[in-house]
Structure 1
Amino acid sequence: MSFHATVLTLYPEMFPGPLGISLAGRAQSEGKWSLEAVQIRDFAADKHKTVDDTPAGGGAGMVLRVDVLAAAVDYARAANPDAPVLAMTPRGKPLTQARVRELAAGPGVIVLCGRFEGFDERIFEGRGVEEVSVGDIVLSGGEPAALMLLDACIRLLPGVMGAASSGAEESFENGLLEYPHFTRPAMWEGRTIPEVLRSGDHAKIEGWRKSRSEVDTRLRRPDLWERHCDARVQSASGEQAKKKD
């Protein structure tokens, strides 16, 4: 069974976009994943195909109507009932690599892309929609975020990346940022490749990479470093408990 993505959007022409080239594009042509971009406007009931209305309580902008959104979600769910439904919104829970791995291991995903001021809040509880954010930023719509989400999932599908180990040492896979990389030339504008990486000593290289990963995470992403340290403490506590048993 291949991974199937359904994107509910007001701009279906944006898909597959960059997902149609490189690794993702080749994987799609090989049947490893498939995509359906669905026009939300098709589920509007009036002759003008209205998908939005003014905010209750007043305010600027327009809000996507819950009845139209629900009809679109119901259509997508009928075709892929086991796929989770995710709405791309800055109000959502931050997307993590762990959640991406969960999604990639499933039958696919239904992605709801917002526009204007966002979604009628009732859609989330009414249709069990998971709110997801790709960062503390505001985009013009959910489509770029959906492309990011799908790319993260597709690259993890079996047979998509060339080497089985390609994704194992990426940033966030072990809770840390990835170590820095170098390649030829050995000398460039007075800057050299670290000597340890040219030593041929695999144990020293592994130690250097682990150390740099930890240092860079601590300096650049103290939030990740704090979670990583907490996880190590909890893991150690669990191991101690097992030994006592």
Structure 2
Amino acid sequence: MAIPLLEYPPVCQNQRVVNYEVPGDEQTRIYSTDNLLSPSDMGDLIEAAYRQIFFHAFAADRERFLESQLRNGQITVRDFIRGLLLSNTYKRSFYDLNSNYRFVEQTVQRVLGRDVYSEREKIAWSIVVATKGIKGFVDQLLNSEEYLQAFGENTVPYQRRRILSGRSVGEVPFNIKSPRYDAYYRAKLGFPQAIWQTTVRRYTSYDRQPRPGSPALFLDMARSINPKGNQPQRLSALNIDIEKSVPRR
């Protein structure tokens, strides 16, 4: 018998406010298959999906089969997002390197476009991960009423209500606020490291660099020479014995 999802009360956050926004350059661009005008728009939509889920997708991380199905209309954007969340790249980059609580937090941010409401929500979804696995967790998250109302079948998830007209600075993006690696794995991998440079490096343009034969090339060598000559004798004429100093013949 499957354990039902633990109830968690939502708190008053920006994404729960009725949409009343003034359009601007800082507002999040919405990518959806409902308003595609050219094949290049589909490419932009796919790149937006990769940025939302992976933050950055290298050539080895791309799901070419899913991209082909999406371009041909065989799957929806929601199915494409499901494929990215169940890919080896997402599992290796997020699930294997974090605890269940942190994995739930990062997945909720990327899929539902908001922060988790409380620790109780983390516990609720962590129970789903522990009992149903990653696939059951992803399916239940994508089939939730919140996701269907916010993004539906054809819209790429995005960070909701990040920019408010009443504030000059919006919320920090999820990819910056929640890094991929946990503190334990960051320390295990050896970063971040403070690198202190002991030598001062100077840049000299090519036209000011000394040419072969220039005395500037031998300046360091000349400075390294420390000649030591014989010091002059400091004797008083009153202390000289003339009879003993004059050679005897």
TM-score of the aligned structures, taking structure 1 as reference length: 0.25
Which structure is larger by alpha-carbon Rg, 1 or 2? 2
Which is richer in strand?
1
Which is richer in helix?
2
TM-score of the aligned structures, taking structure 2 as reference length: 0.25
